[in-house]
Amino acid sequence: MIQSPTDSTDTVTSAADLPPDDRHRLLAAERRRVALEVLTDWTEPVDLESLAAAVATREGDDVGADGTNVEHVAITLHHAHLPMMADFGVIRYDSEATRVEACPREHES
Task: Read off the pLDDT of residues 9-52 as tens digits, 9 standing for 90 and up.
Answer: 445 577 888 899 999 999 999 999 999 999 988 889 999 999 99
Closest listed residue to residue 82, CA positions, set 103, 106, 59, 61: 103
Q: Is the pLDDT of residue 2 over 50?
A: no
Average pLDDT, the chain: 82
42-78 pLDDT, tens digit each: 889 999 999 999 999 999 876 655 577 999 999 999 9
> CA 78, CA 75: separation in Å to the nearest integer?
5
Q: How confident is the model at residue 104 (pLDDT cuts 50, 70, 90)?
A: low
Which stretches of the chain are DSSP H helices? 20-27, 30-41, 48-59, 68-76, 82-87
